[in-house]
């Protein structure tokens, strides 16, 4: 049986800050059932409406949405936002773009979402087996908050506005399940993929543990089917939250714990991992860094002493959800919240900006979109010491990927973009088995493996590094690789960790690669080498930061995606 470990689903569910789940409501109102009936009828033979949106129209809480239009209203840097207003002014608002919200449900009855629920794509509720994705538990809200960041209806004199206020949403409720099977993951990735342009995933492996979490083969199959066959053959674009575990969870902050490359979903070549920055353009302390990080988008950030303003968006209707009506300083109207945060909210902002792009240029493929996002990203926090330029001329940073999502830059770049017509080549290079010892407690010399690549690919789109080691305590290793063009990528850093099975600090061996995967091999992802030529010698170096635990590099293998 293909079944995800129960601990994964339980911890992933808990990582969204949900409380104890309440029973499904058996007293569904007749009006709600009637709405479901109407939705079902509409799905039979409907077409998406052509939404009209005036940027100058009113949305009651729009002034609070600094991530869309930052005028320093909460003390942030003026202009540090997604830069969507000039795009809206060109009558670009995401019309006819369908975005899948894979989450804990989506409130299709919400006053600010209902008009933007797709009438051609069917939702999927994996908890109760229906096409109606609305939350079943009263304390679930996450998916509705995500949906609002993407596509809350604009100009309707209500609440908030999404980044793509005319795009359409289809919900997939997977996270309310107490046990998530790999078959559930597959179904969530492919649901209505022929119609879905973008799949938003503000979930993933548990945060704050410092463990390596591989992705399932069925989930990978679902993403592969989506990018090859989705959106009428152009490929569904998958955006994935980079994770909120950089500064620890159960470990007292500030302690480096998680890297987004430890998440086997966020580091998969078919997705774009999205990190988070605050209203000053700097990394949120919790946002995970990594060589697989694609770009960042705005969310609740931090100053030197405290977290700063979060994101205003839709909440589950009425007394359900995060805001139960003015609780803890939230809005008095419980249908909205100003407390949404994390890479969970940065990811749908990226999805909304991408929806603007696809709405204007519907013929773009998933490969076009991800490269346009990279090439148009704005360099934020320019004084950060990690900024570098790869050999293809792209700005890169382990904290920020290629930079910040910027709607104007993205649409401008698309105006002169030459579509990618070359076939995507996947080339798996030979596996080297050097069995090189890793010097114990040595952060200067380390162990080195030279890996020579000679392939038909001369333009990298993504790289996988499969690393095998019998080292008895993985968290003390620093692993880095340098491309033939001279670009260095850090795959893993020495870090603290917590055993998720008993919530205690890890002891020797508890987070070795073998204990997590059933083998001693783990796959890391590299986004930073986009556009580089892979041919030549790659240099892998591994350092051991502490005494006692030892091991060796058993094998290294590269898989290169490109053209």
* Extents of the domains making up the chain: 24-415, 425-562
What confidence tens digit (pLDDT) does each residue in 62-113 have?
A: 999 999 999 999 999 999 999 999 999 999 999 999 999 999 999 999 999 9
Is 103 considered catalytic here? yes
The pLDDT of residue 256 is 80
The percentage of residues in the chain with a pLDDT greater than 70, rounded to a whole number, is 88
Catalytic pick among 103, 263, 315, 368: 103
Average pLDDT taken over every residue of the chain: 90
Is 344 considered catalytic here? yes
328 pLDDT above the threshold of 60? yes
Match 């590299």 to its residue by tokens: 526
Is 142 considered catalytic here? yes
Query: Residue 222: left (phi > 0), alpha (psi -120 to 50), or beta?
Result: alpha
**Three-state secondary structure of 90-144:** CCCCCCCCEEEEEEECCCCCCCCCHHHECCCCCCEECCCCECCCCCCCCCCCHHH
121 pLDDT above the threshold of 70? yes
Interval 408-437 mean pLDDT: 97
The percentage of residues in the chain with a pLDDT greater than 90, rounded to a whole number, is 78
Interval 363-390 mean pLDDT: 98
Q: The domain at 24-415 falls in which architecture?
A: 3-Layer(aba) Sandwich (3.40)
61 pLDDT above the threshold of 80? yes
What's this model's pTM, rounded to 2 decimal places? Answer: 0.92
What confidence tens digit (pLDDT) does each residue in 215-265 have?
A: 999 999 999 999 999 999 999 999 999 999 998 655 555 578 899 999 999
Q: What is the distance between the alpha carbons of residues 437 and 553, in angstroms, rounded to a whole number?
A: 6
The pLDDT of residue 431 is 96
The pLDDT of residue 49 is 78
For domain 425-562, the question of CATH label 2.60.120.260 is answered with: yes
Burial code (b: 16+ CB inside 10 Å, e: under 16) for 124-163 equals bbbbeeebbbbbbbbbbbbbbbbbbbbbbbbbbebbbbbb
Catalytic pick among 100, 140, 193, 344: 344
Match 């009506």 to its residue by tokens: 325
Per the CB < 8 A criterion, the answer to whether 549 and 494 are in contact is no
Which stretch of 235-239, 277-281, 357-361, 472-476 has the lowest confidence by average pLDDT? 472-476
What confidence tens digit (pLDDT) does each residue in 271-307 have?
A: 999 999 999 999 999 999 999 999 999 999 998 788 8
Catalytic pick among 67, 69, 110, 142: 142
CB-based burial label for 27 (10 Å; 0-12, 13-18, 19+): exposed
- More confident site: 9 or 458: 458
């Amino acid at each position: 049986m293909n079944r995800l470990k129960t601990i994964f689903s339980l911890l992933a569910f808990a990582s969204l800050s949900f409380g104890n789940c309440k029973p499904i409501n058996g007293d569904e109102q007749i009006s709600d059932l009637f709405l479901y009936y109407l939705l079902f009828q509409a799905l039979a033979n409907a077409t998406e409406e052509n939404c009209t949106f005036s940027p100058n129209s009113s949305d009651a809480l729009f002034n609070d949405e600094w991530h869309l239009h930052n005028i320093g209203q909460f003390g942030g840097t003026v202009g540090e936002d997604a830069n969507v207003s000039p795009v809206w002014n060109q009558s670009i608002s995401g019309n006819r773009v369908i975005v899948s919200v894979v989450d804990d449900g989506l409130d299709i009855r919400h006053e600010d979402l209902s008009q933007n629920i797709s009438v051609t794509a069917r939702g999927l509720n994996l908890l109760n087996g229906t096409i109606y994705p609305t939350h079943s538990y009263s304390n679930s809200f996450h998916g509705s908050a995500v949906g609002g960041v993407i596509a809350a209806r604009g100009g309707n004199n209500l609440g908030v506005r999404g980044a793509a206020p005319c795009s359409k949403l289809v919900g997939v409720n997977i996270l309310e399940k107490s046990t998530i099977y790999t078959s559930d993951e597959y179904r969530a990735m492919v649901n209505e993929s022929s119609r879905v342009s973008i799949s938003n995933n503000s979930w993933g492996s548990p945060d704050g543990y410092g463990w390596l979490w591989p992705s399932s083969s069925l989930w990978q199959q679902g993403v592969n089917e989506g990018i090859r066959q989705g959106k009428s053959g152009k490929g569904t674009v998958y955006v994935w939250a980079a994770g909120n575990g950089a500064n620890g969870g159960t470990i007292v902050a500030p302690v480096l714990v998680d890297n987004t490359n430890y998440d086997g979903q966020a580091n998969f070549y078919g997705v774009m991992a999205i990190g988070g920055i605050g209203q000053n353009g700097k990394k949120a302390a919790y946002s995970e860094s990594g060589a697989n990080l694609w770009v960042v988008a705005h969310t609740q950030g931090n100053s030197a002493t405290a977290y700063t303003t979060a994101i205003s968006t839709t909440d589950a209707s009425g007394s359900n959800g995060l805001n139960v009506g003015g609780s803890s300083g939230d809005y008095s109207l419980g249908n909205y919240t100003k407390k949404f945060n994390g890479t969970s909210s940065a990811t749908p902002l990226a999805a909304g900006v991408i929806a603007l792009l696809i709405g204007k240029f519907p013929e773009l493929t998933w490969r076009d979109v991800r490269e346009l996002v990279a090439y148009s990203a704005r360099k934020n926090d320019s004084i950060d010491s990690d900024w570098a330029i790869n050999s293809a001329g792209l700005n890169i940073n382990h904290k920020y990927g290629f930079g910040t999502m910027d709607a104007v830059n993205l649409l401008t770049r698309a105006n002169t973009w030459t579509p990618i017509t070359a076939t995507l080549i996947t080339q798996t290079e030979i596996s080297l088995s050097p069995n090189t010892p890793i010097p114990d407690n040595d952060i200067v010399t380390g162990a080195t493996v030279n890996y020579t690549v000679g392939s038909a690919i001369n333009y990298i789109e993504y790289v996988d590094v499969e690393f095998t080691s019998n080292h008895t305590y993985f968290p003390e290793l620093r692993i880095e690789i340098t491309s033939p063009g001279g670009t260095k990528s850090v795959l893993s850093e020495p870090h603290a960790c917590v055993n998720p099975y008993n919530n205690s600090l890890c002891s020797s061996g508890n987070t070795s690669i073998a204990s997590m995967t059933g083998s001693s091999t783990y796959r890391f992802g590299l986004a930073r080498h986009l556009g580089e030529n892979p041919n030549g010698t790659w240099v892998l170096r591994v350092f051991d930061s502490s005494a006692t635990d030892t091991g060796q590099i058993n094998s290294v293998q590269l898989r290169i995606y490109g053209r």
